[in-house]
Structure 1
Amino acid sequence: MGLFKKLKDVLEANISDLISKAEDPEKMLNLYVERATEELKQFNIQVNRAVADQLQLRQKAEASKKEIESWNTQAKVAITQNRDDLARIALERKKTAENNLAEYEAQLAEQEKAVETLRSNYRLLEEKLNKARSERDQLVMRQRRAAAMKQANEAVQEIASNNALSDFDRMRDKVNRSEAEAQATMISAENSLEDEFAKLKKSADDMAVDDELARLKAELGKGKE
């Protein structure tokens, strides 16, 4: 039963404590399950040996029953032939076989109880091991997820500490400023062009006025003499 207690202690260990103390939780959990699996295999060997012993005791008990019947028959034959001496020997052998049968049956009863206890304990440990495997898988996924989140958070903190986002803001402001300057230059160019056209129009208007003035003077005889 020492192996049962040893395996039971392994399976009932606080997995969370094991993880918190391990540098590599996933590796620790795998080793934990592997160890428990190997211990359960060894325990199963003990169960099988106990079952084998039970079968041997049952066979010996059956053999003793047959031996008792055989010696009883031989004692009867000896009596019918007036061989009380042989009958006595046969009955003595029969008594020995009966004693052996009683011993085998007592041992068999104890062995059957032991086998049933071992099988019950094996089922209990097997259930605990399956539960441990399931918990191992869940904890490994949680550990991986936590590690990924930690790595992501560290990356965000590193970006923030390097002012990378501030650099992006400065670049955006620079682009906006360049676009504004380009827009201002385009507006200035358009205004200059409009001014030139306005000057041309004014010059043409002035010439038209001068021509009209000269014509009127000519009509009135006020032109150059």
Structure 2
Amino acid sequence: MSLWKRMTLIFRSKANRALDRAEDPRETLDYSYQRQTELLQKVRRGVADVATSRKRVEIQIKQLESQSDKLTQQAQKAIDMDREDLAREALTRKSGLTSQISDLQTQHASLQGEEEKLVLAQQRLQAKVEAFRTRKETIKATYTAAEAQTKINDAVTGIGDEMGDVGQAIQRAEDKTAAMQARAGAVDELIASGALDDVTSLNRGDDISRELESMSSQSDVEAELARMKQSHQIEAGGSGGDAIVESERQKTVEDGDKP
């Protein structure tokens, strides 16, 4: 295949696709129906013209027949008056009229036959046009419904695609939220366990301070407990409890002096 033929084929194929996209079948059907209606009108006008011609021929035939009857009466009157010459002249004219009437009758019969054919063709064409109109409206209604369904499907497809993107965005947001919540929970656990303080503290002597504070607090508790016991023994034993009180006090002091 030559380059020119290939280019021509490509051009025609693209042109056909463009025409297919631009063509609306409903408009094409309406145009076809309009053309058929115009043809039907032409046939009707043809039938009317033939009928008019036939009617004119009928009128001419009647006129000639009237003249022929008149000439017959004139010929009879001329015979009655012994004017054979006038009778012969009237009959000669009548003979000419008879020939014309015969020709007109032949023409009338031809026109009548042509009119009948055109009437039959008109009836058939009209039936076809009416059938085409019914089918045209059915096809148009079906096409319109299909077009609407296609638009709905396209819209639903577009919404589905968009909802897919939205779903992915929601999933990403949920994943990020879950990650942030997990991170916050982990930080809370580290803070509660003290591990975060160990990691972030710049002063490593805080452990010693906490231990000393704990020991001091324990010593305070022991001293308070000893005072409460001493007070109870004093109340219970009277003056005999002085030695016991002194002994308990001395023990408390010694415990406090322990490293």
What is the alpha-carbon distance in structure 2 between the residues aligned to residue 88 and residue 28 of structure 1? 72
Count the aligned residue pairs: 185
User: Runs of 5+ in structure 1 lacking a partner?
Assistant: 1-19, 186-213
Please identify, of 41-50 and 139-148, the stretch whose mean Cα deviation from structure 2 is larger. 139-148
| Residue of structure 2 equivalent to 1:122 | 122
| Residue of structure 2 equivalent to 1:165 | 163
Q: Counterpart amino acid of 1:164?
A: E
1:1-225 alignment, distance < 5 Å: 23-160=23-160, 163-170=161-168, 221=236
Q: Counterpart amino acid of 1:85?
A: D
What is the alpha-carbon distance in structure 2 between the residues aligned to residue 88 and residue 156 of structure 1? 100
Contact 1:57 1:107 (8 Å CA) reproduced: yes
Contact 1:22 1:28 (8 Å CA) reproduced: no
User: Runs of 5+ in structure 2 lacking a partner?
Assistant: 1-19, 185-227, 246-259
SS of the aligned residue for 2:98 comes to helix
Q: 1:169 to 1:22 in 2, by over 3 A?
A: closer
TM-score, normalized by length of structure 2? 0.56
How far residue 26 of structure 1 moved from its aligned partner, in angstroms, is 1.6
Give % identity.
Answer: 23
Q: Counterpart amino acid of 2:150?
A: K
What is the alpha-carbon distance in structure 1 between the residues aligned to residue 95 and residue 22 of structure 2? 66
Output one character per residue of 1:189-223: Cα deviation in whole Å (capped at 9) or x when no partner. Answer: xxxxxxxxxxxxxxxxxxxxxxxxx9xxx7xx589
Q: 1:21 to 1:81 in 2, by over 3 A?
A: farther
Contact 1:72 1:91 (8 Å CA) reproduced: yes
Q: 1:111 to 1:77 in 2, by over 3 A?
A: same
Q: Counterpart amino acid of 1:118?
A: L
SS of the aligned residue for 1:121 comes to helix
Q: Counterpart amino acid of 1:113?
A: G
What is the alpha-carbon distance in structure 1 between the residues aligned to residue 21 and residue 80 of structure 2? 84
Give me the CA root mean square deviation: 4.1
How far residue 46 of structure 1 moved from its aligned partner, in angstroms, is 0.8
What is the alpha-carbon distance in structure 1 between the residues aligned to residue 62 and residue 119 of structure 2? 24
SS of the aligned residue for 2:146 comes to helix
TM-score, normalized by length of structure 1? 0.64
How far residue 88 of structure 1 moved from its aligned partner, in angstroms, is 0.6
Q: Counterpart amino acid of 1:166?
A: G
How far residue 120 of structure 1 moved from its aligned partner, in angstroms, is 1.4
Relative CO higher for 1 or 2, CA cutoff 8 Å, sep ≥ 6? 1
